[in-house]
Amino acid sequence: MKKIELVIKIGSMALINKDYNDINYNIFARLSRELRPGYALVSSGATEIGRLDYIKRNGRELKESETDSEIKTDYSAQGQSVLMQNYRQFVDSKFSLRQILVEHQHFNDKAKREHLKDMLLRCPAQNAVPIINYNDAVSDEENRKMEIQAMRREGQKTVECVDNDETAAQIACLLGCETLLILTGTDGIYRVASDPSTLVENVFAENAEKLVAEVCELQKSCVGASRKGAFGALAKLEYIKEPLRRGIKVIISNSAFKVDDILSGKARRTAFYLK
């Protein structure tokens, strides 16, 4: 069976053109054309794209009287179809495209986890590229937290998937891929926040324990996030610890760069790996 060698994660803000308050079609086109069987994409963006699509069709945002949870649900349900429409438009037509919407329960239940794993691993041999996103449209935050707390009281190790960075890390671990690539709005991890000249290009060690210790040290430099509801570099570094413990190479780089250039080291990036 062919394996998935690369898991890519792209964040919401990378898919939005802030100057025009619209979808960044250039990013969609360039990233989509680099996707091929053997790659899996974890894509955020449904909620923000759904918001923009709603405004475009109605001339306003959803009513403020609705709760944040309801608004997120409604926007994400509207945005999913737009998200996939854009990927399908630009991904090579000879490849199948498959949408997979996951929830925390798919990682915390053994049978569901194996079902998800088997389905994703069938994709390369079937000439298909999976596009994965957390299913915000049907996952209520309050219920999710109650379910997670109940499992933790029973001593179970749990995955919450509060952020697609965590989802991508868990997908990478599930598939045992070679590389996890996290695309963001910066060139990687900076020792001094907001100072690109302090980019940390390589983080490596001879064993996983020491590598994770290096990551913990880097977390001391990380503050802030790109938007409300995002968790920023600090959380990214927390989520990549498990893939690193499993020997998966992790790269954090800018969504403005080509995937092939990032992987080859031609583009600026932070790479974490065992020496």
Question: Domain-by-domain residue ranges, the chain?
Answer: 6-274
Q: Which fold has domain 6-274?
A: Carbamate kinase (3.40.1160)
The predicted structure's pLDDT at residue 141: 61
3-state secondary structure the chain: CCCCCEEEEECHHHHEECCCCEECHHHHHHHHHHCCCCEEEEECCHHHHHHHHHHHHHCCCCCCCCCHHHHHHHHHHHHHHHHHHHHHHHCCCCCEEEEEEECCHHHHCHHHHHHHHHHHHHCHHHCEEEEEEECCCCCCHHHHHHHHHHHHHCCCCCCCCCCHHHHHHHHHHHHCCCEEEEEECCCCCECCCCCHHHECCEEEECCHHHHHHHHHHHHCCCCCCCCCCCCHHHHHHHHCHHHHHCCCEEEEEECCCCHHHHHHCCCCEEEEEEC
pLDDT greater at residue 64 or residue 89: 89
> Does residue 146 have a pLDDT over 90?
no
Mean pLDDT, rounded, of the chain: 89
State yes or no: pLDDT of 144 exceeds 70: no
pLDDT at 227 over 50: no
CA within 13 Å, CB half, 189 = 30
| 91-106: pLDDT as tens digits | 999 999 999 999 888 8
pLDDT interval class at 154 (50, 70, 90)? low
The average pLDDT across 131-152 equals 70
This prediction has a pTM of 0.90
Give 230's pLDDT tier (boundaries 50, 70, 90): very low
pLDDT at position 149, please? 62
Supply the pLDDT for residue 226. Answer: 43
pLDDT band at 229 (very low <50, low <70, confident <90, very high): very low
